[in-house]
């Protein structure tokens, strides 16, 4: 006997169908070691689900100009903005954790936007990728972003905008590597696209060919701009084994 995934989850967890569907849509539900991606997918009625918990939002710093937080995976940047009732200065993808900045005054916002435009902002990320990365390398390939319905998808293209990423090895575990990625530009899904194009797709990034995992293994480790410097500790569950 089969039933829709969200209805089975609702029964297992003792929650409403709507709440169950929301958990699946957020990417928090797993069955047989794989993420459940379609709430209405038909599944065996005996299926047992595992539900990941969203970590708490940690405030790193606040003054009269901005708020810096350590964003947990599975929350959108817009949800963080709504919680703090403060506009975003930049965005992180839903499954990306790490330093996220919100802006509190218009003058600082304008200065920060100019700093981003002029490539005067340092952004460092950590990622687990497929393959063994033993030496540093630079990726200088333009990226074109396309809108598909409500979603954005990017790819390397000669018709795209300038995008530069610098990759350094940090650790090797079997057939996987942990790398540091520094970006000079901030194109949509830049790190995900560049690493996939280099043959080292990010673990968990099914959109760009990554191996299955509970989340996209990408963490915004550090950001520096206009005299500020913020760093977010790597999550304890940020590992491939």
DSSP secondary structure of 200-227:
-PBTT-GGGTPPP-SS--EEEEEEEETT
Would you state the pLDDT for residue 97?
Answer: 96
The whole-angstrom separation of Cα 147 and Cα 102 is: 25
* pLDDT of the residue at 51: 85
pTM (predicted TM-score):
0.84
The pLDDT assigned to 35 comes to 83
Query: Of 93, 105, 197, 205, which one is the catalytic site residue?
Result: 93
Q: What is the pLDDT of residue 147?
A: 83
Residues of the chain whose pLDDT is less than 70?
A: none
Residues 182-219, buried b or exposed e (16+ Cβ, 10 A)? bbbbebbbbbbbbbbbbebbbbbbebbebbebbbbbbb
Query: pLDDT value at position 125?
Result: 98
Nearest residue to 237 via CA among 220, 221, 213? 213
CA neighbor of 22 nearest in space, from 46, 55, 51: 51
Tokens linked to 41: 């997918």
pLDDT of residue 32: 81
Respond yes or no: is residue 140 known to be catalytic. Answer: no
């Amino acid at each position: 006997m089969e039933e829709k995934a969200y209805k089975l989850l609702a029964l297992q967890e003792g929650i409403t169908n709507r709440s169950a569907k929301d958990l699946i849509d957020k990417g928090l539900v797993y069955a047989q070691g794989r993420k459940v991606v379609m709430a209405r997918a038909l599944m065996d009625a005996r299926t047992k689900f595992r539900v990941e918990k969203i970590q708490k939002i940690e405030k790193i710093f606040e003054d009269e100009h901005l708020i810096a937080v350590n964003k947990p995976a599975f929350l959108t940047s817009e949800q963080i903005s709504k919680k703090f009732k403060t506009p975003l200065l930049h965005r992180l993808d839903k499954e990306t954790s790490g330093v996220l900045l919100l802006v509190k005054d218009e003058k600082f916002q304008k200065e920060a936007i100019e700093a981003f435009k002029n490539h005067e902002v340092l952004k460092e990320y950590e990622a687990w990728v497929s393959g063994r990365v033993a030496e540093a390398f630079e990726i200088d390939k333009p990226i074109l972003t396309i809108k598909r319905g409500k979603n954005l998808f990017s790819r390397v293209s000669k018709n795209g905008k300038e995008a530069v990423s610098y990759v350094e090895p940090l650790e090797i575990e079997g057939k996987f590597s942990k790398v540091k990625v520094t970006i000079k530009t901030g194109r949509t899904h830049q790190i995900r696209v560049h690493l996939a194009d280099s043959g080292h797709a990010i673990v968990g990034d099914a959109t760009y060919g990554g191996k299955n995992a509970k989340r996209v293994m990408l963490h915004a480790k550090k950001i520096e701009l206009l005299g500020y410097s913020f760093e977010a500790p790597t999550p304890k569950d940020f590992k491939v084994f």
